[in-house]
Structure formats: C-alpha cells, structure tokens
Structure 1
C-alpha cells in the first residue's frame, strides 16, 4: 500500500501496437505526385490531357454554334432581312440567343471539369 505522503501510484499507458509498422499517412498516389516521380508525372499528364480534351471539345462546340450563324446568313440570304416583331433576325440571334448558349456551355464545362478533378482526386487518393 502507498502511504498518504506518496500519493496515488502513476501508471504508464501505451498502445499495444507500438512495435508494429506504421502506415504511410499520405496515399502513395499523392506521394508520387509530390515527389515528382515518373508515375506522378503520368498521373498529372493524364489529368492535363483530360482537361485539354474537355476544353477543346467545348471550344469546338462553341465554334460550330457561333460560327454557324454567319454561315447561316451567308447560305440563306433571306435570313439577313427576316424580321421577328420588327426586330431583324440577325440581331435577335447575335444579341439575345448567343448569351444563353455561351452561359450553358460554360456551365457544362465547369461541371465536367470539376467531375474530372474529383475523379482524379479519388483515383490518386486510393493508390
């Protein structure tokens, strides 16, 4: 028994796994990227190529839609003089219709870019 002058006896508590190996704190995929290994470079190249494909597809789509308007006016001369409620059709198409098309394509681009990045983050986090 301990005497009142000594106080309570101290006990050291330790983990039962003190001798076991530790797991790496960061996933190996992110470590590969951080250490700039060849595999990390391949991961980053894959991400950049996916983003580039998406950007080129969006630019091509916008070029077809927006570039098609002058082509429409050139191939069908009647569209140049056609009026809707007293407003020339080219003005309506170029002044009103273009902006929702650009807005929707920008929203689609952002959503797909975020999806690509989240899939990449999930993939690298698992490796």
Structure 2
C-alpha cells in the first residue's frame, strides 16, 4: 500500500489591498463636520434645550405659584406654623431644598442625555 501525500494547501496572509469602505465610528462624522454630524449634534442640543425648558417650567410653577396661591387664598397666607407665617416658611425655607432637588434632577437627566449621545456616536457604522 502506498500512501498518498496530503493535498497541498496554499497559506496566504491578509489582503494588503484597502477595502472600499472601512468601518469607522460615527464620532468622525462630528469631527469632520459633515451633514450627518450636524444632525447628531443638533439632536443632542435640542434634547438638552427641551430638558432645560422643562426644568424652568417646574421652577416657575413650583416657586412662582406660591405667591399666586397666597394671593388667591388669603386665609392660607395668614396661617402660622410654629409662630411663623406659612408663606415665610415655604418661600424662605422650603424653597431651597426644592431648588436643590430640581437641580439634582436636571444634572442627572442632562448627563443621561450625554451618555446616550456618546453611546450613539461611539458605535461603528458597518460597511
């Protein structure tokens, strides 16, 4: 019995010719100031502006509504808590934790928007 040698196999390295289109992150669209990059950036700015408007609305209704409430309901303005007028307590004391809370919420939401945007632009476009 004569054994036949195994068939020959050609071993080659990776192709040295450049491909037509290489995969690249969407971030380059922003860096190169392309139309698509403008759309990505405009969407982030629009979302951040919407968030800022919502925060201002919450502040305007929350704090701006208190004087209006006391004007519309005079008996509420005359109410005293621990010897101090309720209006003073709400506007002079309770307003600060409210401002801190709205600020904390706004920063968290703005960072979440930026993280979502970063996740979007860091993904690679497939050829």
Equivalent pairs, count: 111
Name the counterpart of 2:81. 84
Is 1:31 aligned with 2:18?
Answer: no
Is 1:43 aligned with 2:18?
Answer: no
RCO (CA 8 Å, sep 6+): is it higher in 1 or 2?
A: 2
In 2: Cα distance, 1:21 partner to 1:117 partner: 35
Is 1:96 aligned with 2:119?
Answer: no
Q: CA deviation at 1:20?
A: 5.7
**TM-score, reference length from structure 2:** 0.80
Q: CA deviation at 1:17?
A: 3.2
Name the counterpart of 2:119. 122
Q: Deviations over 1:8-52 (max 9, x none)?
A: xxxxxxxx437264896851x111100101110000000000000
Gaps of 5+ in 1: 1-15
Aligned partner (choices 99, 105, 127) of residue 108 of structure 1? 105
Gaps of 5+ in 2: 1-12
Name the counterpart of 1:12. none
RMSD of the TM alignment (CA)?
1.8
